[in-house]
Chains A and B, each alone.
Chain A
Amino acid sequence: MLALAALLVVCAAPVRGQSPEETDRRERRLLARAESLQAQEAVRADARQSAYWSRFRPRVIQSRGATLVVGEAVSAASAQQALDSGLTLLRTFGAVPERFAGRLVLYGMVDTRRDTLSRLGIGSRRLLRVDVSQTGPDSAQSWSVGADAIARALANEYRDSLDVDWRHWLPYGYAVPHWTRSSTWGAFQELTRTPLSVAGRCVAGETAGCRLWLAIDRDAEPFAERFTGADLRNRLRGRSWWSDAAGASEVGHACIEGVDAACIAFFRAQGFSDISAPETSRRGLLRLFRSLYGADAVERAVADTTGSIAQRLARAAGVNEDSLVMRWRYWTLTRGGQPRDRSTAADAAPGLVLAVVLLALVVRGRRS
């Protein structure tokens, strides 16, 4: 009985450390520890956030009247070099007047949350975004803006500010000087492999065919003049979306059935491009124009708003429209070749003159 009573006393007594005071102390300690850890984590998160946004703190770079604002993650030296080089690219090509860049503020990778850009004193200048790219692995990532990106952004913006003829005809990125052997090959392929009949007429030496292919005239009926019914039907067959759309409409159906006028009406209604030549061919014409007549001529032509594209180009270069077109044809079909402007005799003359001079020296000389 005594043992039972002792057991009851032992069981009912609180275990050491489980007393209400002990529990509170322990909980308070744990809570304090958790709060301390949370505070440290918050500080670290703030630091991380601050470090993250510090990359976007604006850095203003200027060159020849143009302004570029980039985040601090982009080094000042590389941003300056990119801006200088981008402007040089455009000036070298001549497609964008230098003063145009002064009307804009280029920006990329900048914190725009608190109206940062407008507080930089950009005045009434328009903002134009440029791509900032990340290079290197995650552990050593670096950010940079390319001269190409700057030139492309400015050229595209300038293109969009031009009159409707240029906006319609000029391809995007027209002023970026990436004309390589593969571009030359691309222009050749476009002209010789496309099933369009105007391209065939151009290859056969017909100037009118080349003009229609390049779409450099203000044709009254662009679709009717630049494409045959068969050309347009081929286009329909080539793309499923177009053929579905054509099948769903009465005019489109008539086009597929062989009614040429219906094809023209269908393509016009669908807002299909009425320019026969793809972008590479048009960029090729500008490229050739630049190499033959210089950057000033390109700038004059693009700033001109009178007449067709052919007239503007011819006027800027002071040449005949057809001669320019035929030169382009030769250049494209020979993949960058220059026409035989000089006779073979004129080509040979300097060499033969040198040969005669050398021979005279040998005849007069003495072997020793």
Chain B
Amino acid sequence: MFKQVLVAQWQTSKLAVGLLTLLSFCIPLLAVLYGGDLAGAGRERVGDWLVAADRVAQLLPFIALLVGLLLGTLAWSADLAGRHVYALSLPLPRGLYVSMRFGAGALFATIPGAAMGLSSGIATLAVALPPGIHAYPLELALRFWLASLTVFAIIFAIAGASRRGQVITISVIGAAVTLDVVFLLFGVDYSVTAEALLLLTNWPGPLSLLTGRWALFDV
């Protein structure tokens, strides 16, 4: 049964998965384009190269976010388009069906992660690093995969929630934005959304993984 769900979900997700995999593969290689032989290079060049590698690394959390967002949304797109008739016609309890959909999406999220691992490995092998600088290809790939999986799970849960759940989610976000506008009108220097974002993105916030160090080559 999982195979059928996987195949059906692949039909809606394959373009996104393909593009994201290509992006995930190419971006770590950009870090190497700035130069490969650094073992004997001057400190000035190493400094410039570190800055360039850092700039490339800043793109990675956005790609992970994109992977999670797209795959999480696309996981339910076929059901939404067919008004859940296919899901209801299957001889499966809802819990099992949801788990299968999630499993399929999580499997697709692994593909860009694997591509990133592969290209990070290639980039690492292509560079002669100076002393004091280290490469983290495995850690980067794992971080990317876990970050995209986390975002995917959150978006998957929101998109797959009952109408009541979705209304509550949207209401909470809307209330936060409204409060911000009210604070702004009354000159209060406080932002609910900014504080919430800070809580979410600082450890132990659930999205803290997106804001740490993403550099493939680090000090």
Tally B residues with Cβ within 8 Å of A.
46
Interface string of B3-22 (1 = CB under 8 A from A): 00000000000000000000
Which B residue sits closest to A347, measured CB to CB?
A: B209
The tally of residues in A whose CB lies under 8 Å from a CB in B reads 42
In the bound assembly, the distance between CA atoms of A350 and B164 in angstroms comes to 25
Residues A355 and B213 in contact in the complex (CB < 8 Å), given A330-B219, A348-B147, A365-B165? no
- A335–B131 Cα gap in the complex (Å)? 19
Check if A203 is an interface residue, CB within 8 A of chain B. yes
- If A363-B99, A367-B162 touch, whether A204 touches B204 (CB-CB below 8 Å) is no
Interface residues of B in 64-78 (CB under 8 A from A): none
Would you call A351 an interface residue if the criterion is a C-beta within 8 Å of the partner chain's C-beta atoms?
Answer: yes
CA distance A362 to B204 in the complex (A): 23
**A interface, by DSSP: helix, strand, loop or mixed?**
helix
CA distance A359 to B99 in the complex (A): 8
C-alpha spacing A365/B160, complex, angstroms:
9
Q: Would you give the shortest CB distance from B182 to chain A, in whole angstroms? A: 28
Interface segment among A63-71, A282-290, A315-323, A338-346: the answer is A338-346
Question: Which residues of B have CB within 8 Å of A200?
Answer: 43
Partner of B95, one of A329, A350, A364: A364
Whether A342 and B206, one on each chain, are in contact in the complex, defined by CB atoms closer than 8 angstroms, is no
Q: Choose one: B94, B99, B146; the contact of A344 (CB below 8 Å).
A: B146
A192-B44, A330-B219, A359-B102 are known contacts. Are A351 and B208 too (CB-CB below 8 A)?
yes
Check if B161 sits within 8 Å of A355, measured CB to CB.
no
**B139 at the A/B interface (Cβ < 8 Å)?**
yes
Are B162 and A333 touching (Cβ within 8 A)?
no
A204–B130 touching, CB < 8 Å: yes
Question: Smallest CB-CB separation from B141: which chain A residue?
Answer: A344
Across-interface contacts of A350 in B (CB, < 8 A): 203-206, 208
Most chain B beta-carbon neighbours within 10 Å: one of A333, A347, A362: A362
Please determine whether A344 and B153 come into contact, CB atoms closer than 8 angstroms: no
**B residues within 8 A CB of A205?**
131-132, 219
Question: With A363-B94, A363-B99 given, is the CB distance from A189 to B150 under 8 Å?
Answer: no
The reply to whether A352 and B150 contact each other, CB–CB distance below 8 Å, is yes
Contact call A338/B209, Cβ cutoff below 8 A? no
Q: Which residues of A contact B130 (CB under 8 A)?
A: 203-204
Q: C-beta contact mask, A319-337 vs B, less than 8 Å → 1, else 0?
A: 0000000000110011101
B 1-54 contacts with A by CB, 8 A: 43-44, 46-47, 50-51, 54
- Of B99, B205, B206, B219, which contacts A333 at CB under 8 A? B219
Q: Is B149 an interface residue (CB 8 A)?
A: yes
Are B161 and A192 in contact, CB atoms less than 8 angstroms apart? no
Q: A18 to chain B: closest CB distance in Å? A: 80
Residue in B closest to A354 when the chains form the complex, CB atoms: B206
Partner of A192, one of B47, B99, B146, B207: B47
The 8 Å CB contact of B146, one of A191, A329, A351, A366, is A351
Chain A, Cβ-Cβ closest to B158: A358
Contacts of A356 in B (CB 8 A): 153
Other-chain residue from B94, B131, B147, B153 in contact with A366 (beta carbon distance below 8 A): B94
Answer yes or no: B177 CB below 8 A from chain A CBs. Answer: no
Rounded to whole angstroms, the CA-CA distance of A272 and B154 in the bound complex is: 61
Contact, CB under 8 Å: B154 / A358: yes
Contacts of A19 in B (CB 8 A): none
Residues of A within 8 A of B174 (CB): none
Asked if A151 is at the interface of the complex by the 8 Å CB criterion, the answer is no
For residue A368, CB closer than 8 A to chain B, the reply is yes
Inter-chain pairs besides A334-B54, A355-B150, 10 sampled, C-beta below 8 Å: A191-B47, A334-B218, A347-B208, A348-B146, A351-B208, A358-B158, A359-B157, A363-B94, A367-B84, A368-B162
A residues at B contact (CB < 8 Å): 188-189, 191-193, 199-200, 203-206, 329-330, 333-335, 337-338, 340, 342, 344-345, 347-356, 358-359, 361-368
| 18 cross-chain CB contacts under 8 A | A189-B47, A192-B43, A203-B46, A205-B131, A334-B218, A338-B213, A347-B209, A348-B143, A348-B146, A351-B153, A351-B209, A354-B154, A355-B149, A355-B154, A359-B153, A362-B157, A362-B161, A367-B84
